[in-house]
Chain A
Amino acid sequence: MIHNEEKLLQRIKSGDDEAFALLMEQYANQVYALVVRIIQQREDAEELTQDVFIKAYEQMENFSGRSSFATWLYRIAYNCAISHTRRHRVPHLSIDEGRIAAVRDEDIEQMEGDLSDHNIDALMEAIEQLNAEERALVTLFYYEQRPITECAEIIHQSESNTKVRLHRIRKKLYLLITHSKDETEQ
């Protein structure tokens, strides 16, 4: 698969746009899923996904191969989707930092270990209330199951910073599912 991808990338760099169409076919749905999860709008997501692939095609010469093609593509998708949410100022819930810091690690472990339908449904709703950057990280780490190093590269953060962010997201999710009524909408 990777070998094929390298061949395709070489063909694209030499000006073969048919090879790009093949590569797009391979990643289109994954990129679309990430974009939909970040911007939470299907209407704009298709156009945004197109923008991602157009940018990737135009910047292909800058792809050095230092990271995998998927990571590079996801990074473009992340940037496009986050810029879109900033332009459209999508409202999200804001929680007091003091309350987030007060959540105990045991509570998070308990929440993550509770596989009851009730807990999973509540978590599903809570994820939708996170801000765009947090939803992106949840999608990359939990849904896509990408390693921390890749997630960090996609969201332009250091590995340790990404771990801290994930921990903060878990605490926020815990607060959202336990104290959802107390939240104030921004």
Chain B
Amino acid sequence: MKQSNNAIHRATLRRIQPQLPAGFGQRTMLRIRRRERVRELIQYAICGTILIALFAQCLQWVFTRLSVRFDIDFALPKFDFSAVDFVLVKNLAIIAVPLILMLLLDSYLRLKMQAHFLFKEEKK
């Protein structure tokens, strides 16, 4: 039996064809771009965390397992309690160096993300 002469086919045609509200495409593209952006941010965050964790692990190895000594030849200020002061300075260095590197990494990631999104905006 031809579809046009079929009562079930005619019954399906009788129902009004629903139409999407205006602006559907724009709204969907907006959602798609937002999801992409969130996914990229998550990727950057994961990569950044892994990098920091690796770096911290390396630092820990340098100072604990490998016992690297830095023999600095220039005159250091003299303190009354030199043994205590050396530990303090070393601890400060352990905190300050990764912090500076993390800040540099953060700036680098920010620049990369900015460049990426600017490129995307231009493409639009």
> Which residues of A lie under 8 Å from residue B19 when comparing CB positions?
29, 32
Tally of B interface residues using CB under 8 Å: 28
Smallest Cβ distance from B35 to chain A, in angstroms? 7
Smallest Cβ distance from B121 to chain A, in angstroms? 12
A120 touches which one: B14, B20, B24, B35 (CB < 8 A)? B14
Assess the B5–A113 pair: CB atoms within 8 A: yes
Q: How large is the interface on A (under 10, 10 to 19, 20 to 34, 35 or more residues)?
A: 35 or more
Assess the B33–A17 pair: CB atoms within 8 A: yes
Assess the A123–B27 pair: CB atoms within 8 A: no
> Which residues of B lie under 8 Å from residue A25 when comparing CB positions?
25
CA–CA, A29 to B1, complex, Å? 28
Smallest Cβ distance from B119 to chain A, in angstroms? 11
A32 touches which one: B5, B11, B18, B27 (CB < 8 A)? B18
> Which residues of B lie under 8 Å from residue A170 when comparing CB positions?
8
Interface membership of B15, Cβ < 8 A? yes
With A111-B7, A113-B7 known as contacts, the answer to whether A29 contacts B20 (CB < 8 A) is yes
A127 touches which one: B11, B17, B32 (CB < 8 A)? B11
| B33 and chain A: residue at smallest CB distance | A17
Assess the B27–A115 pair: CB atoms within 8 A: no
A123 touches which one: B11, B24, B124 (CB < 8 A)? B11
Smallest Cβ distance from B49 to chain A, in angstroms? 24
CA–CA, A36 to B10, complex, Å? 18
Smallest Cβ distance from B15 to chain A, in angstroms? 6
> Which residues of B lie under 8 Å from residue A50 when comparing CB positions?
24, 27-28, 31
> Which residues of B lie under 8 Å from residue A20 when comparing CB positions?
29, 32
> Which residues of B lie under 8 Å from residue A123 when comparing CB positions?
7-8, 10-11
With A28-B25, A114-B7 known as contacts, the answer to whether A138 contacts B31 (CB < 8 A) is no
Assess the A142–B24 pair: CB atoms within 8 A: no
Chain A, range 78-119, C-beta contacts under 8 Å to B? 109, 111-115, 119
Interface membership of B37, Cβ < 8 A? no
Smallest Cβ distance from A180 to chain B, in angstroms? 15
> Which residues of B lie under 8 Å from residue A109 when comparing CB positions?
1
Interface membership of B67, Cβ < 8 A? no
With A17-B29, A57-B32, A112-B1 known as contacts, the answer to whether A49 contacts B12 (CB < 8 A) is no
With A54-B31, A124-B14 known as contacts, the answer to whether A21 contacts B9 (CB < 8 A) is no
Query: 17 A-B contacts, Cβ less than 8 Å apart?
Result: A20-B29, A20-B32, A24-B29, A28-B20, A29-B18, A32-B18, A33-B18, A45-B18, A49-B24, A112-B6, A115-B5, A121-B11, A123-B11, A124-B14, A124-B15, A139-B12, A142-B9
Which 7 residue pairs across A and B have the least CB separation, nearest first? Answer: A123-B11, A143-B12, A124-B11, A36-B18, A142-B9, A142-B12, A50-B28
